[in-house]
Structure 1
Amino acid sequence: MFSFGACKPQTEKINGVSFVASKHEIDHTNIKPVVKVNANYAAIMPFGFIEDISHPDIIFNTDRQWFGERKDGVIQYIKTLRKHNIKIMLKPQIWVWRGKYTGLIKMESEAHWQLLETAYSRFILEYAQLAETMKVPIFCIGTELEKFIENRPEYWKNLILKIKAIYKGKLTYAANWDEFKRTLFWDQLDFIGIDAYFPVSEAKTPTIEDCLKGWEPYKLVIKTMAEKYNKAVLFTEYGYRSVDYTGKEPWQTSRASGGNNPLAQTNAMTALYETFWHEPWFAGGFVWKWFHNHTEVGGLENNRFTPQNKPAEEVIRKQYQLQ
C-alpha cells in the first residue's frame, strides 16, 4: 500500500509549462495564454554554459546571455507570472555548446572535477538563494547530469545539504527517462523528477491505445520507484513533437526529422495524461515547451515540441482544467 509517509497524495496536480527564456521582458500579454491553458505552474530556466563535456568552467548570468536566461530576467519573469497566480519551479540548466548532451559531462582529471564542482556549486547555490529570497515553491537542483552524478556522488550529497541550508522549499532533480532508476539521492529530495521522453510507440501516427500500451512497463517501474522512496513523481519535462513517429524517440530534436503530424502529438499527449494524471503518487508535470510570444509560434506548419496553436494545446487545456 502506498502510504506517502509524511507526503500527502497529490490531489491538486502541478499543471505546468516550461516557460522558455527570451531576449525580452515579459508582461501580462505573455502570461494570458498560460492562464488560458489552465496552467498553475511554470518552470523558469536560467542557463549556464559549458564549452565542452570535458570543460570545467560554467559561464552564467552575463550580459551576453538573453534577458530570460539571467538572474534579472528570472526575477522579472517570476514577478510577472505571480501576478496571474502562476507558481514557479526554478530550474537552472546547463547548456553545452553545439548542443552536446549534458548527461555526458565528464572530466578527464581530478583537478578538473574539482574545478567543475566549484563552478557548479557557485551556479546552483546562487539560484537556490534566489529561490529562497523569492519564496519559490520548487527548486530543481540539476537537469540530466548522469555522468557528473555517477562519478562524483559524495559531491552531490553534500551539495544537497548546502542547498537545504539556504533554501526551504521543495527540491527535485530532472533525471533523464533512462537515468532516473540509477539516481543516487532521491531519498534527500521531495520529488522524483523525470524528463519523461520514454519511447512508447514505433507507429508513424501512434494511436492513444498504442501509447497507453507502450507506457505499461514504464509506469510499473516509475510506480515502484515512488513506493521505494515514498516520494511523489514529478515529470520535470514531458512532451512530444508534432511529427511522424513522435513516440519512437521522443527526445529527438533534429530539425530535419519527420513531417508535420499534429495528430501524433495529440494522441501521445492524451495517453500520457490518461496514464499518470489520476494517480495519487504522481505530482504532475511541466510540458515542454512554452514560448512567451504565443501568437507567433507553433501552429500546424511547426513540427517542434511546442503545443502552442496546435490541437495539443486544447488537450492540455482540458486536462489542466480537471484539477
Structure 2
Amino acid sequence: MRILKCLLIGYLFLTLSACNGQDEIKINGVSFVAAGGATDSSEVQPIVNANANYAAIMPFAYIKSLDHSEIMFNSDRQWFGERVEGVKQYIEELRKYQIKVMIKPQIWVGRGDFTGNIKMTSEANWKALEESYSNFILTFVELAEEINAEMLCIGTELELFIKHRPEYWTDLIRKIRTQYKGKLTYAANWDEFKRTPFWDQLDYIGVDAYFPVSDEKTPTVETCIEGWKVHKPIIKGLSEQYQKPILFTEYGYRSVDYSAREPWVYDRSMNQVNLQAQVNATRALYETFWNEEWFAGGFIWKWFTFHERAGGKEDNQFTPQNKPVEEIIKAYYKIED
C-alpha cells in the first residue's frame, strides 16, 4: 500500500512537471487592447470578474508597407497604452489584482496588410529591418525585465521574416535570454506554427488559433469538436516533439454567421450578428483543449477598456464583452478550489 501511495505521488508530480516548466494553473488570459489614456480599477475589475488570471498587453508598432524596413514605435502619436509608459502603467494596475502579464509587441502594416508577408527586396533592407525590429523588441524586453513580467512574446505572425532570416531570430532569442529572465513564446499564425524553426529555444509553442472547424452558419458544439479532430493531433504532436506546452497566444470567434469557417476573417460583408455561433465555437475550443495536460491555456481576442460600452448583443466582432459568450469564458476560467 505504501509503495502504491508513493507511485501515485510520483505520478502526480510528473504530470504537473511534464510540460517543461508549464504553470500548474491554466493561463486563462485576455488580450487587453490599448487605449488613449491610463487604465484604472474600473477597467481591470471586469477582467477579474471574467476569472482571468493573465492579460496580454500589446504595444503596437507601425510599418508603412510589406517591403518597408523602418518600424515606428513608442511615439507620442500613438495611444498611451501602446507606449512604454502606458504598458508599464497598465501592468502596474493589473498587478494590484494579481493578474499576471504577457507583453506582446506587435506590428501593424499600412493598409492592414498581413504581417506574415513582410519581406524585404534587398540585403541592405533586410539588415535595416533587423536593426529596427531589434530596437523595437528589446525596448520591451528591458521593460519586461524591469517590471518582472511573467512572459514575453517575441513576435506575432511574421512567417516570411522568419523564413528568410532564421539566423537573425536565433541570435535575437539568445540576446533576449541574456536580458530577460521570464518565459518566452512566439505567436505563430494557425497555418504557420508547424514550420516555425525555433520552438526548441522558447518556453511555449505559441499559436494564434484561428483554425477552421465548421462550415455551418450556426455551428454546433459537436460539429466544432469534430472539426478540431483534424488539427488537434498535429498540435499535440508538436508539443510532444519539442517537449513544450502549447499556448494559444490568441483565440476567439466573431459573433457572426459562419464564425468558425474562417475565424481570422474581418470581412465587413460578414455582418449578420450570431451570438450563438460565437458561444458554440468557443465552448467547443474549451472542451477540446482546456483539460489537456500539454495545453497551457490562452488569451481570448480581444478585451477592451470601457467595458460597459464594449461589445454588446448588437456587436458582430470578436470581443466577448457583454455577450452570452462572456459567461462561457467565466465558467471555463473559474479556478477550482
| TM interval, short-chain normalised | over 0.9
Cross-structure match for 1:140 = 153
SS of aligned partner of 1:288: strand
Aligned residue identity for 1:42? A
| 1:11 shift after superposition | 3.4
In the superposition, the TM-score normalised over structure 2's length comes to 0.94
Residues 1:282 and 2:290 are matched in the alignment = no
What is the one-letter code of the residue matched to 1:87?
K
Aligned counterparts of 2:126 and 2:21: Cα–Cα separation in 1: 39
Per-residue CA deviations over 1:14-50 (Å, capped at 9, x if unaligned) read 0000000011111100011000000000000001100
- The equivalent of 2:221 in structure 1 is 208
Name the SS of the counterpart of 2:37 in structure 1: coil
Q: Which sections of structure 2, spanning at least 5 residues, go unmatched? A: 1-13
Question: Aligned match of 1:199 in 189, 212, 216?
Answer: 212
Secondary structure (helix, strand or coil) at the match of 2:225 reads helix
CA contact (8 A) 1:50 1:95 kept: yes
Q: Does the aligned pair in 2 maintain the 1:11–1:280 contact within 8 Å?
A: no
Q: Does 1:96 align with 2:109?
A: yes
Matched, 1:189 2:199: no
User: Which of 43, 57, 69 lines up with 2:56 in the alignment?
Assistant: 43
Partner in structure 2 of residue 67 of structure 1: 80
Q: Is the 8 A contact 2:218 2:274 kept in 1?
A: yes
From 94, 106, 115, the equivalent of 1:81 is: 94
Structure-2 residue corresponding to 1:259? 272
Q: Percent identity?
A: 59
What is the rounded CA distance, in whole Å, between the counterparts of 1:6 and 1:209 in structure 2?
28
Tell me which residue corresponds to 2:329.
316
Partner of 2:9: none
Distance 1:70-1:20 versus aligned 2 partners, 3 A rule: same
Do the aligned partners of 1:206 and 1:264 also contact (CA within 8 Å) in 2?
yes
Query: Cα deviations across residues 130-155 of structure 1 (Å, max 9, x unaligned)?
Result: 00010001000000000000000000
Q: CA deviation at 1:217?
A: 1.6
2:63 and 2:71 in contact (8 A); partners too: yes
The alignment of Structure 1 onto Structure 2 pairs a total of residues equal to 323
1:202-232 deviation digits (Å, cap 9, x = unpaired): 0000000000000012110000000000000
State how far apart, in whole Å, the 1-side matches of 2:271 and 2:215 are: 13
Contact 1:4 1:231 (8 Å CA) reproduced: no
**Secondary structure of 1:164 counterpart:** helix
Deviation at 1:98, TM superposition (A): 1.2
Moved over 3 A (4+): 1-6, 8-11
Query: TM-score, normalising length from structure 1?
Result: 0.98
CA RMSD of aligned residues (A): 1.4
Q: Which residue of 2 aligns with 1:163?
A: 176
Whose radius of gyration is greater, 1 or 2? 2
The one-character-per-residue Cα deviations of 1:72-120 (angstroms, maximum 9, x if unpaired) are: 1001000001001100000000110111000000000000000000000
Q: CA deviation at 1:322?
A: 4.1
Distance 1:127 1:77 in 2: 14
| Conservation of the 8 A alpha-carbon contact between 1:234 and 1:285 | yes
In structure 1, stretches of 5+ residues that fail to align are none
How much has 1:305 moved relative to structure 2? 0.2
For residue 155 of structure 2, give the secondary structure of its aligned residue in structure 1.
Answer: strand
Distance 2:289 2:194 in 1: 18
Given the superposition, is the C-alpha separation of residues 167 and 10 from structure 1 closer, same or farther in structure 2, using an over 3 Å criterion?
A: closer
Q: CA deviation at 1:297?
A: 1.1
| Distance across 2 between alignment mates of 1:296 and 1:80 | 20
Cα offset for 1:2? 8.8
Report the secondary structure of 2:298's partner residue: strand
